[in-house]
Amino acid sequence: MTGRLDRRAFLALAALGVAGVAAGCGSGDEPVVRLASGEVGGFYHAFARLLAATAARTGTVRIEPVATSGSQDNLAMLARGDAQAGLALADSSRDAPGGVLALGRVYENYLQLAVRADSTVHRVIELRGKRVNLGADGSGAALTGERILLAAGLDPATDVIVEHRPLRDAAAALRAGAVDALLWAGGVPTAALEVPLRMRLVDLGELAAPLRQRYGHIYDRVEIPRDAYPGGSAITTIGVANLLLAAPTLPDEAAAAIVDLLAGHPDALVPAEAAGTQFLDARSLIGTGPIPLHPGAAAAYRRRHG
């Protein structure tokens, strides 16, 4: 974690040299790609930093991670031209503005609804009248969280008090009793969720079927295994695929270089929180659903696998 703010400041200054263009040139001939990631301390940001480090070792593309609020923020940055690549939940990506394209399906986020360890809440329906943090403004959890409440029979506008704080602020508010629950879409374990000592995860498995009926097969019923959080219990929850996306203006050369990183260096791209959630293999990388592959990415996959 040391030096992240300095690094982010450096990236912001470096980005001024390529303002508004899809990809420029770095100190060498490699293309430069700004990658909209997520909150510092979350899975998106960790993955983006690993991808940037792997790119630096190969010298084929330079990736500049940008800390953001998450999926919806990233999609907006792609649409504005403020980033050339970004991570987003599959459900957020479906109606993305600007005709985004996919570079690959990289892993699955686990939705984690955390309450205090002594909370009486054991099902989502029991959140009626409670204060619930549905991710930061601009996060994918903000969209998915509303859908979870609706699937459970709750109206987000009237049945709960919805807040949108970043993860670390939300975790502090939960510990202090300022909110009753928080929803986080990310890897397992997530360090900010103090499970099981001070927090407990609510089982969401019963909502997988109604979510699929209402919104389609972008939601999976998945298991968080026992001791995924040391000392924690096994529960079922909702999994949502994460896509690495690109603006249509991203040059084919840069898209192909990123695919080569994904397919050629999978072991270097697994954050510590990734227990059982990685999709970095040939069969799943191309499974981007309704989001078409970027032409440069498609060509790179064909070269590898025919």
Q: Structure pTM?
A: 0.84
pLDDT value for 270: 85
Residue 6 lies in a domain: no
- How confident is residue 279, by pLDDT bands cut at 50, 70 and 90? low
Residues 249 and 290 reside in one and the same domain: yes
Residues 191 and 232 reside in one and the same domain: yes
Give the integer Cα–Cα distance in Å for 111 and 121: 17
Is residue 174 predicted with pLDDT exceeding 80?
yes
Residues 212 and 256 reside in one and the same domain: no
pLDDT value for 9: 37
pLDDT value for 277: 57
- How confident is residue 8, by pLDDT bands cut at 50, 70 and 90? very low
β 85-89/101-116 pair status: unpaired
* Domain that residue 95 falls in: 33-108+241-305
Residues 114 and 235 reside in one and the same domain: yes
Three-state SS letters, the chain = CCCHHHHHHHHHHHHHHHCCCCCEECCCCCEEEEEECCCCCCHHHHHHHHHHHHHHHHCCCEEEEECCCCHHHHHHHHHHCCCCEEEEEHHHHCCCCCCCEEEEEEEEEEEEEEEECCCCCCCHHHHCCCEEECCCCCCHHHHHHHHHHHHCCCCCCCCCEEECCCHHHHHHHHHHCCCCEEEEEECECCCCCCCCCCEEEECCHHHHHHHHHHHCCCEEEEEECCCCCCCCCCEEEEEEEEEEEECCCCCHHHHHHHHHHHHHCHHHHCCCCECCCECCCHHHHCCCCCCCECHHHHHHHHHHHC
Is residue 127 predicted with pLDDT exceeding 70?
yes
Q: What is the pLDDT of residues 210-235, one digit of tens each?
A: 999 999 999 999 999 998 899 999 99
Residue in this structure with the two tokens 């019963």, named with its chain if needed? 206
Residue 209 lies in a domain: yes
- How confident is residue 276, by pLDDT bands cut at 50, 70 and 90? low
- How confident is residue 267, by pLDDT bands cut at 50, 70 and 90? confident
Is residue 262 predicted with pLDDT exceeding 80?
yes
Is residue 25 predicted with pLDDT exceeding 80?
no
Q: Name the domain boundary from 200, 225, 240.
A: 240
CATH of the domain at 276: 3.40.190.10
Residues 136 and 257 reside in one and the same domain: no
- How confident is residue 246, by pLDDT bands cut at 50, 70 and 90? very high
pLDDT value for 7: 36
pLDDT value for 14: 36
